Amino acid sequence: MVKIANIELGEFPLLLAPMEDVSDPPFRKVCKANGADLMYTEFISSEGLIRDAAKSVQKLDIFDYERPIGIQIFGSDIDSMREAAIVSSQAGPDLIDINYGCPVKNVACKGAGAALLRDIPKMVKMTEEIVKATNLPVTVKTRLGWDENTKYIVETAERLQDIGIQALSIHGRTRVQMYKGEADWTLIGEVKNNPRMKIPIFGNGDIDSPQKALEYRNKYGIDGIMIGRASIGYPWIFNEIKHYMATGETLPGPTLEERVEVCRQHFTHSLEWKGEKLGIFEMRRHYTNYFRGLPHFKPLRMKLVQSEDIQEIYDTLDEIAATMSYEEVTT
């Protein structure tokens, strides 16, 4: 049984990665229904939280059906991060996660996210202050290093464990790599197999099939896997991995009707949480992913992304289910 502090996650948990503009409550709800064991909010700016910025505060919304769930925070100032941890704890999550992995320019170039990989002492000090500031378990998500010459993750993991984090998720790329190239899991395996490490180690990067998940579990010995991009428009990946690991059998992919139904559920949750205008607008980024590979989908996609009418969108989803066969999806 893998545990983060007293939070039981099963024998080999699958985690939904925190993804900006993706891992919101509507998306988390469909991932939870399809087998995600632990989920995180989108990353939340520490400065936004302590200044009570509406967008940051809204990201604190969590629901009991999502548990266990962590709130992830990022920032460059130690005092602000400490205060943000206190604010986040008051929202009632099961844990607090610190983002030391985001590579995007407007985060890293402001000294937050993966930028802390260039200043490990500051990363350790920041983490220590956050651990002291909350009674909740604190976890960290990070990368191998800033670049090829600064892959200090084995030593960094020890230092973070020593000041009290309860689990560590590692993306198998450097910041300089962004999301390019192939993720290197060898150092993730070294962290996990370091006899000094006692906390759970979760691997992240390029897991896009049940077969690869099983291969990497066996090869690197990690305690669980964090899945990001492969789940966008395809929340079924969690249950598919679990089934394959338990039975050695590959589940058939979702039927077209199942794709439409889960997309419909996602849209409904989006409307409930965001309201009509924003719910319609922000759902548009997901349609292509739900129906990727569907032949002759472009005209229907255009209807979905151009419509501002709720019923018209539901009707278009019905049209997709009615006019296209599952055989077309798979051929």
Residue with tokens 């962004």: 178
Q: Is 296 annotated as a binding residue?
A: no
Residue 135 near residue 66 (C-beta atoms within 8 A): no
- Residue 31 falls in the annotated catalytic set: no
Residue 328, SS3 per DSSP = helix
Catalytic one among 31, 102, 109, 263? 102
Q: Is 301 annotated as a binding residue?
A: no
Residue 236, SS3 per DSSP = coil
* Residues whose CB is less than 8 angstroms from the CB of residue 77 and which lie 6 or more positions away in sequence, other chains included: 46, 47
Residue 94 near residue 68 (C-beta atoms within 8 A): yes
Q: Mind giving me the DSSP string for 123-181? A: HHHHHHHHHHH-SS-EEEEEES-SSTT---HHHHHHHHHHTT-SEEEEESS-TTTTT-S
Q: Is 72 annotated as a binding residue?
A: yes
Residue 173 near residue 132 (C-beta atoms within 8 A): no
Of 127, 62, 122, 107, the residue nearest 89 (C-alpha): 62
Q: Is 228 annotated as a binding residue?
A: yes
Residue 191 near residue 153 (C-beta atoms within 8 A): yes
Category of 138 on φ-ψ map: left (φ > 0), alpha (ψ -120 to 50) or beta: beta
Residue 272 near residue 240 (C-beta atoms within 8 A): no
- Tell me if the bond preceding 68 is cis, omega within 30° of 0: yes
Q: Is 219 annotated as a binding residue?
A: no
Question: How far apart (Å, rounded) are the C-alpha atoms in residues 100 and 168?
Answer: 11
Q: What type of residue is 248? A: G
Which alpha helices (DSSP H) does the chain contain, by range?
Answer: 25-33, 46-50, 54-58, 78-90, 105-108, 120-133, 153-162, 186-193, 210-220, 237-247, 256-274, 276-283, 287-290, 298-306, 310-323, 326-330
Binding residues for FMN: 72, 141, 171, 228-229
Please give the positions annotated as active site.
102
Binding residues: 72, 141, 171, 228-229
